[in-house]
């Protein structure tokens, strides 16, 4: 396998000379394209730029149309030879091709954009706004500069500026130079990438794209946490402590539940230390010291990351300490919105010591697990956990079928009072195909009596939203930023009236459950069980769940 330096030398051999590159860029800038809209491909053989169709028509003296195939409601865009036209300005010997001006494949973009909510399976920003009755803010609307929506980014996920610009150009009215979030780096976290060696990830692109159209002209802040060497080789049981250190300096030094911020003094370390001896001499390694309170939190932050509550080596006191911090932040007006996961009542087998993602009863050391395995950090009662749902032909809605939306009851956190009535009512109304245990009873433990879930634990998710953006990627990772964006809009209105931000939103949601739609069809299976928690009207709906507006 070629080394990084060998790849770079090979790319340099085939790259055009610098003067040719500069000539093309100068031509584009002279034609009115801002430098932020122009980039060079990773192999340096293409000059890339973002433009509206009208701008390209003027630039290349041509026109574009949408053609409908006879007998099909599908469209093919553009009609132009890929060979470059005569450009003048001495560019003809330099530019061999102008690409991406036509779509060789038949797309469903026209159908998607003009979709009828009651009859469409496609999900676009327009669909989301119409579905949730979200009006776009008028152009020129003054927004509170301190109310940006926070997006968490880590674990090797970095967004692509080019992808965000393309998405915004197709589906939103966000100007091409206004779509990038403000980087709030913690412990060397990086922002965007266009490298073939360090390619962008779907997660960050999805989080940014699913939410920005709802809050624009409000902006976003990207909390990119941990340096690239750590993100790309993350082998620590802990997670999010470095983020919390970065936005609250007191978290670094205050001890609770035996945990003091970054936990790198255990064997093995739960969190990555900084400076990290494993990364000594590596490019992009963060030299330290650990960031403590170096970034300001946002009033709402969306986190589309998580793992099993029972991760091997992740102690309960670690989770209890984090949840106490989320409580403190919520009481100060900061809301954290977290995706509930895409593995139903189980964990992803890759993140568990049991391949089927569920827990084994006490005394069983091998074989498949049967006990439901909740999600972390959605299990925290001060985090707004967001599940997913889907629409069916004709306008109905049900629990997601493509995957099991994460949901269940925590074995670490006790059930909060704000949801106790809903949980009791749910269990009383359902004849579940499995038994339960109750960890509030000192005589019971996980799996007591053959039970598969802890009816005395924090139930999650709290709310739900549609699961995808447009028909390519999805999951609860799409649902969480939609909810986070809507709460950001609520905060925008509250700030205009000199009111406090929402913060701890849970009691208000549960007390006003009648305002939301029920999901009444389906359940949330996992790898270890074909049946999860069934949806039910008017109750805490553990599958998709009971609050959905």
DSSP state of 259: B
Examine the residue annotation and report whether 477 is marked as an active-site residue of this protein: yes
Our measurement of the distance from residue 80's CA atom to the centroid of its chain's CA atoms, rounded to an integer in Å, reads 37
Q: Which one of 187, 207, 226, 548 is the catalytic residue?
A: 207
SS3 content of the chain, % helix, strand, coil (to 5): 30, 15, 55
Our answer to whether residue 198 is catalytic in this structure is no
- The 10 Å Cβ neighbour count of residue 423 is 20
Question: Rounded to the nearest 5 degrees, what angle is found at the Cα of 481, between the Cα atoms of 154 and 386?
Answer: 100
The span from the CA of 513 to the CA of 540, in Å, is: 9
For the record, the structure tokens of 164 come out as 């965000």
Crossing angle of the two packed helices 476-496 and 202-215, in degrees rounded to 10:
30
What angle separates helix 202-215 from helix 161-171, to the nearest 10 degrees?
40
Under a CB-based contact definition with an 8 Å cutoff, are residues 259 and 321 in contact? yes
Among 388, 477, 479, 529, the one annotated catalytic = 477
Q: Which residues of 379-417 are buried (b: 16+ CB within 10 A; e: fewer)?
A: bbbbbbbbbbbbbeeeeebbbbeebbbbbbbbbbbebbe
Strands 300-303 and 182-183 come out as unpaired
Which DSSP letter does residue 103 get?
Answer: -
Active-site pick, 203, 226, 397, 548: 203
The answer to whether residues 336 and 326 touch, using CB atoms and an 8 Å cutoff, is: yes
Burial annotation 325-341 (CB, 10 A radius, 16+ → b, else e): bbebbbeebbbbbbbbb
Reading the block at residue 220, the tokens are 């976003």
CA distances from 144 to 138, 147, 319, 503, 541 (A): 15, 5, 33, 17, 35
User: Is position 203 annotated as part of the catalytic site?
Assistant: yes
Catalytic residue set: 203, 207, 477
């Amino acid at each position: 396998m070629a080394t990084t330096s060998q790849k770079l030398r090979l790319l340099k051999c085939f790259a055009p000379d610098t003067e040719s590159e500069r000539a093309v860029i100068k031509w584009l800038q002279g034609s009115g394209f801002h430098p932020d809209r122009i980039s060079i491909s990773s192999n340096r053989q293409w000059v890339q730029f973002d433009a509206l169709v009208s701008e390209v028509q003027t630039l290349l003296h041509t026109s574009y149309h949408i053609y409908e195939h006879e007998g099909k409601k599908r469209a093919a865009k553009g009609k132009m030879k890929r060979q470059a036209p005569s450009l003048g300005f001495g560019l003809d010997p330099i530019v061999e091709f102008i690409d991406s001006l036509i779509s060789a494949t038949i797309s469903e973009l026209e159908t998607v954009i003009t979709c009828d909510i009651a009859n469409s399976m496609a999900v676009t920003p327009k669909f989301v706004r119409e579905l949730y009755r979200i009006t776009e803010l008028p152009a020129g609307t003054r927004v509170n500069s301190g109310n940006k929506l926070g997006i968490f980014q880590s674990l090797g996920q970095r967004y692509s500026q080019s992808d965000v610009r393309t998405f915004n150009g197709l589906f939103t009215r966000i100007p091409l130079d206004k779509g990038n979030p403000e980087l709030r780096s913690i412990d060397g976290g990086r922002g965007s990438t266009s490298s073939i060696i360090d390619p962008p990830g779907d997660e960050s692109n999805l989080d940014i794209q699913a939410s920005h159209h709802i809050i624009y002209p409000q902006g976003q802040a990207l909390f990119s946490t941990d340096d690239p060497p750590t993100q790309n080789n993350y082998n620590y049981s802990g997670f999010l402590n470095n983020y919390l250190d970065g936005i609250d300096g007191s978290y670094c030094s205050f001890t609770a539940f035996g945990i003091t911020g970054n936990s790198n003094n255990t064997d093995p370390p739960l969190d990555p230390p900084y400076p990290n001896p494993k990364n000594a001499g590596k490019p992009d390694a963060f030299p330290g010291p650990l960031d403590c309170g170096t970034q300001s939190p946002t009033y709402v932050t969306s986190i589309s990351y998580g793992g099993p509550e029972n991760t091997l080596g992740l102690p309960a006191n670690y989770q209890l300490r984090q949840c106490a911090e989320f409580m403190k932040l919520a009481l100060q007006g900061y809301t954290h919105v977290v995706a509930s996961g895409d593995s139903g009542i189980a964990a992803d087998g890759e993140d568990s010591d049991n391949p089927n993602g569920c827990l084994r009863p006490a005394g069983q050391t091998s074989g498949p697990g049967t006990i439901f395995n909740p999600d972390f950090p959605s299990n925290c009662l001060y985090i707004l956990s967001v599940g997913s749902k889907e629409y069916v032909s004709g306008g109905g809605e049900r629990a997601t079928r493509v995957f099991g939306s994460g949901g269940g009851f925590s074995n670490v956190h006790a059930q909060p009072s704000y949801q106790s009535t809903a949980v009791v009512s749910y269990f009383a109304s359902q004849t579940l195909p499995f038994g339960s245990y109750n960890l509030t009873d000192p005589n019971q433990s996980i799996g007591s009596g053959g039970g598969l879930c802890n009816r005395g634990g924090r139930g999650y998710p709290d709310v739900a939203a549609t699961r995808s953006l447009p028909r390519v990627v999805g999951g609860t990772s799409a649902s969480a930023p939609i909810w986070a964006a809507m709460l950001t809009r609520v905060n925008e209105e509250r700030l205009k009236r000199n009111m406090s931000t929402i913060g701890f939103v849970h009691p208000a949601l549960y007390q006003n459950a009648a305002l939301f739609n029920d999901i009444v069809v389906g359940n949330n299976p996992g790898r270890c069980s074909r049946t999860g928690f069934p949806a039910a009207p008017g109750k805490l709906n553990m599958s998709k769940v009971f609050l959905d507006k």
